[in-house]
Amino acid sequence: MIFSPAWIVNPDSINYSEIKGIKLELAKQIWPTEILYSGLINEKITVDEHWIIGGDFNSSPTFDTLWPGGPRGCQEIIDRLYALNLKESLHEYNKKLVPTFRNPNGGKIIHQIDHVFLSERLFSNLTSSNVLSELGVFENKLSDHYPILTVLN
């Protein structure tokens, strides 16, 4: 389970020679998702392995389309994980982005920032993947994120 905070990695703590190639092309700073990616790229995930990587990535393609000044690399993060032989269960099962987050400014529910990525072997056993919106999470102020339930055979 991962949590990618919605703030940049402190530039003073980065040795840029060690992270060459992991910074997103569209981002000006390093984000925690790049650190996740750099760890995963070294694993060389094959289609036969069993991987589940899920949590709050704080990354949604809708951020790229709505962000003032243009895209900031959210789709790039997702594309990188697909390139590592991982598939995003919620999007793939529903054939569209499924919002998981309630924006604190205005309350819109349009961003999918939470994801469950599966290795191809596990993805082939996907039965369903949905948000649990009926639990009253937003209404009861339990969280600003819907939980995701991904079911595998």
- Which pTM was predicted? 0.89
DSSP states of the chain as a string?
-EE--SSPPPGGG--TTTSTTTS-TT-SS--HHHHHHHHHHTT---TTS--EEEEE----HHHHHHSTTS--SHHHHHHHHHHTTEEEHHHHHHTS----B--TTT----B--EEEEEEHHHHTTEEEEEE-GGG-TTTTTS-SB--EEEEE-
- Name the domain count of the chain: 1
Residue 17 domain flag: no
Residue 13 domain flag: no
Residue 12 domain flag: no
Q: What is the average per-residue pLDDT within 8-36? A: 80
- Domain span holding position 139: 2-6+27-152
The CATH number covering residue 41 comes to 3.60.10.10
Tens of pLDDT, residue by residue over 73-127, are 889 999 999 999 999 999 999 999 999 999 998 999 999 999 999 999 999 999 9
Residue 67 domain flag: yes
Residue 19 domain flag: no
Residue 14 domain flag: no
